[in-house]
Structure 1
Amino acid sequence: MVTEAAPGGDAVDVGRGLTAGQVARRVELGLTNDVPVRASRSVWDIVRGNVFTRINAIFGVLFVIIMTTGYWLDGMFGLLIVANSVVGMVQELRAKRTLDRLSIVGQVRPVVRRDGTAAERAPDEIVADDVIEVGAGDQVVVDGVLVEAVALEVDESLLTGESDPVVKQVGDPVMSGSFVAAGNGVYRATKVGREAYAARLAAEAGRFTLVNSQLRNGINTILKVITYLLVPAGALSIYNQLSGDQALPEALRGMVAALVPMVPEGLVLITSIAFAIGVVRLGRRQCLVNELPAIEGLARVDVVCADKTGTLTENTLRLAEVRRLTGDDVAPVLAALAAADPRPNASLEAVRVAHPDSPQWTIEAVAPFSSARKWSGVSFGGGHGHWVLGAPDVLLTPEHPALADADTIGARGLRVLLLGRVDSRVDSEGAPGPVTAVALVVLEQTVRPDAASTLDFFAAQDVTVKVISGDNPRSVAAVAGSLGLPGAENPVDARNLPTEQEDLASTVDSGTVFGRVTPAQKRAMVGALQERGHTVAMTGDGVNDVLALKDADIGVAMGAGSPATRSVAQIVLLDNRFATLPHVVAEGRRVIGNIERVANLFLTKTVYSVLLALMVGIPGLIGLEALPYPFLPRHVTITGWFTIGLPAFVLSLAPNHERARTGFVRRVMRMAVPAGAVIAVACFVSYLLAYAGTASTDAERVRASTAALITLIASALWVLAVVARPYAWWKIALITVMAGASVLMFVLPPARALFLLDPSDTRQVGVALVCAAAAIVLIELSWRLGNRLTAR
C-alpha cells in the first residue's frame, strides 16, 4: 500500500515504512519528534533557582551591611548564602541526572517500520510519515492517521474524559496521549515534535516540581505568617538599635543579629534536599518518579490496590492442562487462535508456546481480547468455524455443568479459560451469542517469591492491601490466601457490586479480594475508597489498569507493563518487583516525617527570634531605657549551626516509618510556638538579670550577652533532644556532639576570643543555667501536652 506523504513530498510504502533516505530528508527538514525525554529543569534553571532566592537576597543585604561596619567575623551568616546555593544545586542536579537516566530506560519505545523491518525506536527518533505499529496496551506517541486496523479500539479517556473505547477504522485519526484498548493497527505519523498533543502532555506530566504538595503548601502558609511577623519585629529592631546611644557600627550589628535568626533559612532548603535525595535513593532501586509530589503522596498511603497478575504473580503464564469437554481435536484450534493475534497477551502467548505449529486457516473476522468483554474470538474460513476463548463464567450460562469444573480448578489458584464454538461471526452484533463449550484451558501462574513478605510489610505499617483483578474471584482468592492476606477467604464478584456510590464505597472498604473487575469498575472502586478518606495507591501493568492508575492518589506501574500504564503512573518500578514498593513507601515516609521534625527546629528559632526582638525593642518604644540586642550576628550564626542547621541536615536523612498525616501546620506550630515563646522569655530574663544598664562597660555587656547565650543554647539543645525522639544511638551521639561543641565554645580561650564570650562571672552563669533549666521544664511540659492534644 502506498500513500502520499505531504510533509516530505514523496510517496511512502506503508507496508515497508520509510527508507533510510526518506528519514534523512525529513531530519534535514526538521520534521522530527524533537521533544525532550522529560521536562526536567535545565542546569541554568537549577542554578538560578538556588542562587537567586528571596532568602539569599535578604541575607545578601544584611551581609553587605555587616561588611560596611568592618566586623567581618559577624558576617559568618553569609556562608549560608553559599551553603544554601551549593547544597541545593548539587542535590537537584543529582536528582536531575537520576530522573533523566531512568526516563530513558523507562520511556515508551514504539515499533516503527523502516526499510521493511519493524523495530522499537526511541520517541525522539520518529520523523514525519513514519509508519508505527500499535497493539493492546500501546500508547499513541505522535498524532497520525490509521493505514491498517484489525478490530482496533482506542481509549481516548485521557484526552476527552470519555471512558468508552472508540472503534477506529482505516483513515481515522489517532491522537497522541490515547492508548489501544483492544485490537491492533498501523498509523502514519502526521504531527511530530511540539505540534503533537503528546509534547504538551509530557511537558505537564513529567515536570520536576513540587506542585500540589500538601507539605509545600503548609510550609508556604507558615512562611507567609512569618513574613507578617517579620515586618513589625524587624522595623522595631531597626528603630531600637539605631535610636539608642550606641555607635552606628554597634547598632547595625545588633540590628543584623536580630533579623538573621528570624528567617527560617534552612527550611525550604532542607525540604528540597529531602525530596531530591528521595529521588536519588529510589533511583538506585530502579524506581522512576515521574512526578515529585508522588514521594509525599506515598507517605500518606493507607490503601494499596494491587492487581493479581504481574503484581502478586509473575506476568508469564504456562499452559498446564487442556481439559476437553467434547471429542473435538482442540490443538489446531488453539494454535490458530494464538497465531491470529500478532500481539498476544500473556494467556495467548502461553497457548502459542504450547502449540507453536499453527494451521494455515483463513481469518474472516477477529474480536480482540478486551478487559471489559473478557473474551476474544476468531472466525475462520474454509469451514473451520467461529471460536471464542475467554472467561467461562462470562461465556456460559450459570447452570452450565462446565462451570462447576472451572470453579473447582480456579479455587486452586489456576486461571481457567473456556474454548467454545459459536454459530455466527465473532464481529457480528450481539456476539458471541450461545456458546458450545469445547474445552477448558488451564493456565498456571507463579506467585512472586517476595509477595508474602511485601504483604507482611504493609500489614505491619497499617496499610490495607486490596487485590483487584479481572480473573475469577475464587482463583484470585486462592492466590491471595496462599500469601496469608487477611479477608481472602471472602472474595467479592465485581459483577455483583452495587452501583450506588455509597453502597459501593461500603463494599469496597470492607472487602479485600475482588474478581471479575472491569476497567471502569477499578476506576470507580478507587474513587469510592478516596471518598471514604483513604489515600490510595494503585499498582498495575496492563491496559485494564490505566484508568484506575490515573485516578489513584499514587499510580504505580511495572516497568514491563504496557506503555500506557507507564505513561500515566507517577511511579514506575523498572525492576518489575512488587517487593520494591515497600522501599518506595518507606522513602516517602522518611522524607515527610523528617521534614516535619526539622520544621520544628527552624520554626522554634523563628518564634523565639521574633519575640526576643519585640521584648528588647518595646521598652525603648514606650519611653523606657532602650536595650541593645543581646547577641552579635556571630552568636546567632553559631547557635543556628549547632542547634538547628547541622542536626536538621542529619535528621532529614534518618529512617522514619511513621505514616504522614494531614494537619502539618497545626502540629508544627503546636510545638514551635510554645517552645519558642519559652526560650524567648528565658533569654530575656537571663539578659535582664545580667545587664547592668546603659552605663555598663563593654566587658559587662559581653558577660550579659554570654549569660543570655548560655540560656539560649541550652534551651535550644533541649528542643533538639525533644524533636529527635524516639532515641537511637546515633541520635544520642548527635545531640552529645552538638552539646559538646557548644560547651567548647565557652571553654576554649581561642573560641571565647573569636566569639566575644566571657563566662567568668559564675553568678551570672548560674542564673543563666537556672533560666535554662526552667525553660527546659516548660518545653518538656508543652511537648507532652501537645502530644496529648494531637492524640485526641
Structure 2
Amino acid sequence: MTHLDTGGQVDGAHPATVTSPETGLTSSEVAERVARGQVNDVPVRSSRSLAEIVRANVFTRFNAIIGVLWIIMLVVAPIQDSLFGFVILANTGIGIVQEWRAKKTLDSLAVIGEVRPTVRRDGTAAEVATSEIVLDDLIEVGPGDKVVVDGMCAEADGLEIDESLLTGEADPVVKRPGDRVMSGSFVVAGGGSFQATRVGREAYAAQLAEEASRFTLVHSELRSGISTILKYVTWMMIPTAIGLIVSQLVVKENELKDSVARTVGGIVPMVPEGLVLLTSVAFAIGVIRLGRKQCLVQELPAIEGLARVDTVCLDKTGTLTEGGMDVTGLRVLGDGDETYLRKVLGELGSADPRPNASLQAIIDAYPDTTGWRLTDTLPFSSARKYSGATFEEREGSGETVSWLLGAPDVLLDPADPALAETERMNEQGLRVLLLARARDGVDVDDPGAAEGVRPAALVVLEQRLRPDAADTLRYFAEQNVRAKVISGDNAVSVGAVASKLGLSGTAVDARRLPADREAMAGALDEGTVFGRVTPQQKRNMVGALQSDGRTVAMTGDGVNDVLALKDADIGVAMGSGSEATRAVAQIVLLNNSFATLPSVVAEGRRVIGNITRVATLFLVKTVYSVLLAVLVVVSRVEYPFLPRHLTLLSTLTIGVPAFFLALAPNKERARPHFVRRVMRYAIPGGVLAGLATFASYLVAREHYTGPGSLDAETSAATLTLFLISIWVLAIIARPYTWWRIGLVAAMGGAFLVVLVVPWLQDFFALKLVGVTMPWVATGIAVFSAGVLELLWRWVDRRFPA
C-alpha cells in the first residue's frame, strides 16, 4: 500500500505535516491544534437556539399589529376589551414550548444518527465526532463513508469516490495517494485514508452552505400556501383598517374611547393570528411523535412531503430484506474441486477489509484461509457488479491467479448453461453469485478482466425477509401509493422476493430500459420490479417518474442509493445505512424498520388535513371581519362589536376547537392546491356570515331605540354571528366522531352559559333585550346556515379540489 509524501500540499491548502501515516497524529499534536482552534467547528445540524426560537415566535408581523392594538386598549378601555392580547401571549408561549420540545427531540435523535468518522491517532483507529476532527488528522474511509473534511489521499486500496453531488460528474473517481479529496463526496468502492488539509468553515462543502448534508430543501406547499394567504390578508387589511379608523373616529363623531374600542374590535379579527402558530405546533408535535418511534426528520416539511407521495421506490436490500444473508449452497461447475473452491472463497473474503453483506455471508460460511499472498484487489462496485482479487498461491513462485466474484449474468456469456440454473434459483428468490477465474496474466483491476472468464462455482445465498415488510407494502397499496422495487440484483430474484411479500407485477431487467426519459417513464408505469439497476439508472428512474407528474419517495441504505435519494422528492434512509445515504436523506429510520414509514405518512396526513380544516376556520373569520368593516364604512354606522365580543366568538368557534382539530388523528389522503381548497370554502362562508350578521345588525338598529340601544344591537348581531360560526365549525368538524360532536356541543353550551349567567352578561356586555329581535337574529342565522350548507355542497361539485 502506497503512502503520502509528507511534504504534499493541495491547491493552497494547509501543508501536510503528519510524520507517520501509520500512526497519525499524536495526542500532543491533537491538543496543539485544538488550542490553535484548528478544529472542524462546522455544526453537524442547523438547529435554532432557544433565543432564536423565542425571537421567531414573538417578533412576527401580526404580533406587532396585535401588540400595538393591545396597548391602546389597555389604556382606553376596560380589561374585557383587552382579552385578545392575553390570548396572543398564551398562543406565543405554547408555540415556543412546542418548538423547544421538538428541537430537543431532533437534537437527541441527531446525536444517535450522527456520522462518526474513524480517525487514526497514536497508531490506533477510533471513531470520533465530526466536530472533534483536527487539521492533519488521518481519517480512514470505506464504502458508503462520507468525506467530512477536505484532504489529501494518503492510502488507497482500490479507492473510488463519487463527487457527483459536488461537481455533477456521474462517474466515480479513482483516488491515488496525493490526490485531492473533497468534503461532501462519498466512497463507492475500496478503502483507504486521507489527511485533513481543510477543516471547519474552510472545507469545500462548508463553503457551499453545508451542502454535504443539505443539498435540497423539501418544498412545503402548506407553508408556502399559508405565506400566500397571509400576503392576501395583509393587502386586504391595510385599506380596510384605514377606512374603518376614519369612519369610527371622524364620521360618526362618537365618544373617543368607544370609537377607539370599536375600531380595534374591527381590526383585530382580521388577523388570522393563530394560523401560523397552529401550523408550527402541528409540525412540532409530529416531530415529537415520530421521534418516539426512532424516526429522525431532518427537514420538518418532509413529514408533509411523504404524505403527498404517490410512488415509493424501494431498494430491496436493507428495506424489504434485512442486511444479513446466509450461504445455503455451493454448486460446483464442471470438474472443479469443491475443497479448493472453498479455500478460494475464504481467501476472497479475507482480502476485503470492508466486506458487503454478500461477502460477509461467504466469510461466515468459509472462514478458513490458506494464507495465500495477496497481490491485488478489486473492491465490489454497484456499477461493475463484481469484485475480485489476485493471489500468489505458491509463495515465491511468482505465478498469480485472479478470481472474480459477482453477478452471473454480467460475468457469463449469455449462452452459458450455468445461466439457466441461475435463473431457476432466482425464481425461488435466492441470490446467486458466480465465482470465476480470470484469464491467465490478467489483473483484476483490468477493465477487460471480466471477459473470457472460466466459471468455477455458483454461490447460493438466501436473503432474510423483513417480518414487517409485507404489512407495510399492503398499507401503501390500500393508500393508493404505488410501490416500485429498484435493485441492483437479478430482476427474477428480486421479483420472487417481492412476490413473497405480496407485491405482484412484472419484473424488468433494467439493462433493457430505454434511455429516453419519456419512454423510461412508460416502462416504469408498466413494471413493478426492476433488477440490475445501476446507481445512475436509479437516479434516472426517479427523474423519469417525476417528469410523469409523480411525487416520488426513495428508500435505501447503500452507497448506490445516494444519487436517487438526493433527487427524490423525499429521501428515506435506514439508520444502519451508509453515512452518505443518511447525509442526503430527509428522513432517517434510526430503528432500521421499514414499518415506521406508515407512521410518517399518517403523521403527514394528520398535519395537512387538520391544518386545511383549521385554516378554513381562521380565514372565514378574516373574510367576514373585512366585509363587516367595509359595510360599516359604506353605511356610516357604528361598528357592531367591541373587542370582547369577537374575543369570545373567536375563542369558542375558532381558538379552542382549532387546537383540538389540529392535533386530532386524520387519515384523509393529502391533496394538492392547499390555497385553492381553503379559499373556496373560506370566501363564500365568510361573505355569507358577514352579510347575515350585518343584516341582523341593521334590523336591530331599526327595532331598538333609546338609551342602551347600541348594546342591544350588538347583542343581536353577536347571536347571529355565533350561530353561523358554530355551524361553520360543525361543517368543518365532519366526518363526526363522538369527541367532535362533543366539541361542537361544548362550544355551544359555553356561549349559552354566557347568555344566562348575569355577571358574564355584564362582563361581555351581552344582553338579549325583548323576545322579537333575538328570534329574528336566530331566524337570520338559521336561514344563512342552510344557505351555507347548500353553497358549500355546490362548491364541492362545481370546483372539486
TM-score (norm 2): 0.95
Corresponding residue SS for 2:663: coil
Of 448, 457, 462, which residue of structure 2 is paired with 1:430?
Answer: 448
**Is 1:309 paired with 2:317?**
yes
- Asked whether the equivalents of residues 158 and 191 of structure 2 are also in contact (C-alpha less than 8 Å), the reply is yes
* Superposed displacement of residue 246, structure 1: 1.2
Take 2:77 and 2:644, find their aligned partners in 1: how far apart are those partners?
A: 13
Q: 1:236 aligns with which of 232, 243, 252?
A: 243
Distance 1:591 1:352 in 2: 48
Aligned to 2:460: 442
Distance 1:545 1:790 in 2: 41
CA distance in 2, matches of 1:70, 1:400: 94
CA–CA distance in structure 1, aligned partners of residues 630 and 352 of structure 2: 77
Alpha-carbon separation, structure 2, partners of 1:379 and 1:69: 91
Matched, 1:746 2:755: yes
1:330-479 alignment to 2 at 5 Å? Answer: 330-381=341-392, 382=394, 383=399, 385-423=401-439, 424-479=442-497
- The residue matched to 2:437 in structure 1 has which SS? strand
Query: Structure 2: how far apart are the matches of 1:660 and 1:634?
Result: 37
**CA distance in structure 2 between the aligned counterparts of 1:650 and 1:96, rounded to whole angstroms:** 23
CA distance in 2, matches of 1:66, 1:204: 49
Alignment check: 8 A CA contact 1:209 1:292 kept: no
Q: Name 1:284's counterpart in structure 2.
A: 292
- Equivalent residue letter for 1:766: W
In structure 1, C-alpha distance between the alignment counterparts of 2:19 and 2:551, rounded to whole Å: 50
CA distance in 2, matches of 1:229, 1:429: 68
For residue 722 of structure 1, report the CA deviation from its aligned partner: 0.9
Q: CA deviation at 1:8?
A: 9.6
AA at the equivalent of 2:414? P
Distance 2:706 2:309 in 1: 61
CA distance in 2, matches of 1:157, 1:706: 68
Gap change, CA 1:416 and 1:526, over 3 Å in 2: same
CA–CA distance in structure 2, aligned partners of residues 307 and 320 of structure 1 = 23
Match of 1:755 among 755, 764, 778: 764
Residue 211 of structure 1, CA deviation:
7.1
Equivalent runs, 1:136-215 vs 2, <5 Å: 136-200=143-207, 203=210, 212-215=219-222
Separation (CA, whole Å) in 2 of partners of 1:201 and 1:289: 22
Q: Is the 8 A contact 1:37 1:104 kept in 2?
A: no
Match of 2:41 in 1: 34
The question of whether the paired residues in 2 share the 8 Å contact of 1:420 and 1:436 is answered with yes
3-state SS, counterpart of residue 579 of structure 1:
helix
Contact kept, 8 Å, 1:208 with 1:291, in 2: the verdict is no
Secondary structure in structure 2 of the residue aligned to 1:185: strand
The answer to whether the Cα contact below 8 Å between 1:111 and 1:120 also exists between their aligned partners in 2 is yes
Q: Which residue of 1 is the match for residue 326 of structure 2?
A: 318
Post-superposition Cα deviations, 1:233-292, rounded to whole Å, max 9, x if no partner, equal 111211111121310000001100000000111111111111111111111111111112
Q: Which amino acid aligns with 2:323?
A: N
Is the CA contact 1:543–1:565 (under 8 Å) kept in the aligned structure 2? Answer: yes
Matches within 5 A, 1:18-97: 18-97=25-104
Q: Distance in 1 between matches of 2:710 and 2:347?
A: 96
Please give the secondary structure, in 2, of the residue aligned with 1:314: strand
C-alpha contact (below 8 Å) 1:410/1:472 kept by paired residues = yes
- Is 1:730–2:746 an aligned residue pair? no
Establish whether residue 120 from structure 1 lines up as the match of residue 123 from structure 2: no
CA contact under 8 A between 1:418 and 1:440: conserved in structure 2?
yes
Q: How much does 1:491 deviate? A: 0.4
Q: In the alignment, residue 728 of structure 1 is paired with which amino acid?
A: T
Structure 2 residue aligned with 1:245: 253
Q: Percent identity, aligned pairs only? A: 58
1:429, CA displacement in angstroms? 3.4
SS, match of residue 477 in structure 1: helix
Task: Report deviation, 1:202.
Answer: 6.6
CA distance in structure 1 between the partners assigned to 2:749 and 2:289 by the alignment: 32
Task: Please report how far the alpha carbon of residue 760 of structure 1 lies from its aligned counterpart in structure 2 after TM superposition.
Answer: 3.4
Deviates more, 1:627-636 or 1:60-69: 60-69
CA apart distance, 1:70: 3.6
Q: Which consecutive unaligned segments of at least 5 residues does structure 2 have? A: none
Q: 1:14 aligned to 2:21?
A: yes
CA distance in 1, matches of 2:482, 2:214: 30
Determine if the alignment matches structure 1 residue 3 to structure 2 residue 6.
yes
d(CA) in 1 for partners of 2:261 and 2:379?
A: 78
Partner of 2:670: 660
Aligned to 1:268: 276
Indicate if the aligned counterparts of 1:37 and 1:100 stay in contact, CA closer than 8 A. Answer: no
Residue 697 of structure 1: how far off its partner (Å): 3.9
Please give the per-residue CA displacement for 1:553-573, whole angstroms capped at 9, x wherever unaligned. Answer: 000000000100000001000
**CA drift at 1:161:** 1.0
Q: Which residue of 2 aligns with 1:691?
A: 701
CA contact (8 A) 1:305 1:538 kept: yes
The SS at the match of 1:138 is coil
For 2:224, which of 217, 227, 246 is the aligned residue?
A: 217
Q: Describe the superposition over 1:391-450 as per-residue Cα deviations: whole angstroms up to 9, x where unpaired.
A: 000100111011111111111111100000011111123222211110000111111111
User: 136-145 vs 272-281, which deviates more?
Assistant: 272-281
Contact 1:471/1:516 (<8 A) preserved: yes
Task: Give the conservation status (yes or no) of the 8 Å contact 1:406–1:416.
Answer: yes
Please give the secondary structure, in 1, of the residue aligned with 2:32. Answer: helix
Query: Is 1:603 aligned with 2:613?
Result: no
For 2:549, the aligned partner's letter is G
Contact 1:4 1:12 in 2 (8 A): no
Checking the alignment, whether the CA contact within 8 Å between 1:206 and 1:290 is kept in structure 2 is no
Contact 2:16–2:195 (CA<8 Å) still a contact in 1? no
Query: What is the CA–CA distance in structure 2 between the aligned matches of 1:558 and 1:91, rounded to whole Å?
Result: 27
Q: Which amino acid aligns with 1:3?
A: T
Gaps of 5+ in 1: 621-626
Instruction: Give the root-mean-square deviation of aligned CA atoms.
Output: 1.8
Determine if the alignment matches structure 1 residue 509 to structure 2 residue 525.
yes
SS at match of 2:86: helix
Q: Counterpart in 2 of 1:632?
A: 642
Q: Separation in 2 of the partners of 1:638 and 1:112?
A: 63
SS of 1:330's partner is helix
Shift of 1:791: 3.7
Deviation at 1:379, TM superposition (A): 1.2
Question: Secondary structure of the equivalent of 1:13?
Answer: coil
- Structure 2 vs 1, CA of residues 206 and 391 (structure 1 numbering), >3 Å: closer, same or farther? closer
Partner of residue 623, structure 1? none
- Deviation, 1:80, is 2.9
Residue aligned with 2:19, SS: strand
Q: Is the 8 A contact 2:688 2:788 kept in 1?
A: yes
Contact 2:205-2:212 at 8 Å conserved across structures:
no
2:690 counterpart (680, 692, 698): 680
Residue 137 of structure 1 aligns to a residue whose secondary structure is: coil
TM-superposition CA deviations, 1:146-165 (whole Å, max 9, x none):
11001111100110111111
**Closer/same/farther in 2, CA of residues 130 and 668 from structure 1, 3 Å limit:** same
Structure-1 separation of matches of 2:16 and 2:358: 44
Contact 1:494 1:515 in 2 (8 A): yes
Distance in 1 separating the partners of 2:676 and 2:443: 65
Indicate the residue corresponding to 1:499 in structure 2: 515
Equivalents in 2 of 1:638, 1:576: separation in Å?
49
Task: Supply the distance in 2 between the matched residues of 1:12 and 1:508 (Cα, whole angstroms).
Answer: 55
Deviation of residue 359 (structure 1)? Answer: 2.2
